[in-house]
Amino acid sequence: MRRDIRLREFYPGSTGSKHPVGWQIEDSDGSLTDQGYLIEADADGFISSALPQNEMKEQVIVLGDSVVECMFVEHGRRLTDHAEMFLNDAGLSVAVRNGGVSGATSLHMLNAIINKIVPLRPKLIIVASGIMDQNCMKDPDGFWTRHPYFTPVLTQPSEPYEEVPDLPELQMADRLRILRLIKLSCAEFGLPLAIATVPHRGNDAYATERGASFLFSQERRRLVNAQTRDFAAASGLPLIDMEAEFRETAGIFYDHFHLNSEGAVVVGRYLADEIRRIAFTPAFQIKSVI
């Protein structure tokens, strides 16, 4: 049996169209359009931008799961595209690269930093994790789960998987250890790092219709984001608190936490402002040299 460490990315140079399936349409609030959405990957396995690129642009890499990925948002209009447009309009030559991949956990993001981002030497790395981490923190095997969607190791041929009962509470200690390893790895290689909480839907008619199940999952998202917030404070890392900024917002999501087209604009503008604050101020320039 062959075993491979999983580098969660799009195949470099690939192009394809993704279409929401029935349950995704049914679970949306109506703002998810039933159509094909183009996804193009660049040479490094990031979702490519439709904006003009050149080697002179500073790079900011945003790592995340499907929230960052914005699979069902029009090509060139995803979260990172809007952040890049706002920064460029402000006179900053910055490429905001989309490292979001559905199902990515903090462990996958650590792997991506070590194995492909170090040689890129970006101006800033933003790690926005947590939504998918919950699925590992309720699994008895944690982040090293054998679940085919979340496992960090792929086998050929694939091993059969049997669902296991969820743990009654989220086991959060390993996530904190992984966040520490992300910080240490970036520090060792001189890569500026910021940590982000993940935005998710506030309470509205959509939430009310789903009742206790929505409130339960919402509370777990808040719990994981609180850990992210505490880690940033304890470690001295810059925090981009998207949850706090959009805590009571509902209309920018098409379901529990995926951004719709409007959300990509609104959150993209906020992300651009945060990138300017963190990466393009004199204080940051001095700190990054030290």
Q: Report the pLDDT value the prediction gives residue 56, as an integer from 0 to 100.
A: 72
The CATH number assigned to the domain with range 2-289 reads 3.40.50.1110
Q: Report the pLDDT value the prediction gives residue 286, as an integer from 0 to 100.
A: 41
Question: Are 178 and 133 within 8 A, CB to CB?
Answer: no
Q: Report the pLDDT value the prediction gives residue 31, as an integer from 0 to 100.
A: 96
| Residue whose tokens read 């349950």 | 23
Tell me the per-residue pLDDT of 87-108, one tens digit each, with 9 for 90 and over. 999 999 999 999 999 999 999 9
Q: Report the pLDDT value the prediction gives residue 40, as an integer from 0 to 100.
A: 97
Paired tokens of 119: 């040689």
236 in the Ramachandran plot: left (φ > 0), alpha (ψ -120 to 50) or beta? left
Q: Report the pLDDT value the prediction gives residue 159, as an integer from 0 to 100.
A: 84
Question: Are 27 and 213 within 8 A, CB to CB?
Answer: no
Tell me the per-residue pLDDT of 12-44, one tens digit each, with 9 for 90 and over. 999 999 999 999 999 999 999 999 999 999 999
- The residue ranges of every structural domain in the chain are 2-289
75/78 Cα distance (integer angstroms): 7
179/187 Cα distance (integer angstroms): 12
- For 244, the enclosing helix (H) or strand (E) is helix 242-245
Establish how many alpha carbons lie within 13 A of residue 111's alpha carbon, considering only the half-sphere containing its beta carbon: 16
pLDDT less than 50: residues of the chain = 286-290
